[in-house]
Amino acid sequence: MLARIRSLFPVTREKIYFNHASNGPLSRPARQALIEDLRLYSRQADYDLPEYFRRLEKARTTVASLVGANPEEITFTPSTSYGVFVALCNLNLERGDRLLVMDEVFPTVRCCVDQNYPHVDRRYVKFGGRDPIDAVRGHLTRKTRAVVVDWVNFFTGEVLDLDRLGKYLASRRVKFVVDGMQGLGALKIDVRKTPVDFMAGGGNKWLFSTQGIGYLYVNRKNFRDLKRTPTGWLGLDWPNFDSYKKMPPIRNDARRFEMGTRNALGAHALTINIGILEKFGLDRVEAKIQEVKSSLRRGLTELGYEILTPANGRQSGIITARPKGDPAMLYKLLTANRVVLSLRNQALRFSPHFYNNAAEARKVIAILEDAG
Ligand X SMILES: Cc1ncc(COP(=O)(O)O)c(C=O)c1O
Strand runs labelled E in 166-266: 175-179, 198-202, 214-218
Question: Which of 157, 202, 266, 317 touches ligand X (CB under 6 A)?
Answer: 202
* Per-residue x/- track, 28-67, ligand X (CB under 6 A): ----------------------------------------
**Stretch near ligand X under the rule CB under 6 A, chosen from 76-84, 130-138, 250-258, 364-372:** 76-84
Task: List, as one string, the DSSP characters of 239-261.
Answer: S-SS--SSPPPBPSSGGGG--S-
Question: Which of 73, 158, 179, 258 touches ligand X (CB under 6 A)?
Answer: 179
Question: Which of 181, 285, 300, 348 touches ligand X (CB under 6 A)?
Answer: 181
Residues 100 to 119 in contact with ligand X, rule: CB under 6 A: 106, 108
Question: In angstroms, what is the minimal distance from the CB of 80 to ligand X?
Answer: 3
Question: In angstroms, what is the minimal distance from the CB of 179 to ligand X?
Answer: 5
Phi-psi region of 145 (alpha: psi -120 to 50; beta: other; left: phi over 0): alpha
CA distance linking residue 86 with residue 350, whole number of Å? 31
Q: Does 81 bind ligand X (CB under 6 A)?
A: yes
Please tell me the chain's helix, strand, coil percentages from 3-state DSSP, rounded to the nearest 5. Answer: 45, 15, 40
Nearer to ligand X, 89 or 368 (CB): 89
Number of Cβ within 10 Å of residue 245's Cβ equals 5
Let me know: does 170 contact 180? Beta carbons within 8 Å.
Answer: no
Question: Which of 150, 158, 197, 258 touches ligand X (CB under 6 A)?
Answer: 150
Residues 209 to 228 in contact with ligand X, rule: CB under 6 A: 214
Q: 265-298 burial by CB neighbour count: b if 16+ within 10 A, else e?
A: bbbbbbbbbbbbbeebebeebbebbbebbebbbe
Contact positions vs ligand X (CB under 6 A) = 79-81, 106, 108, 150, 154, 179, 181-182, 202, 214
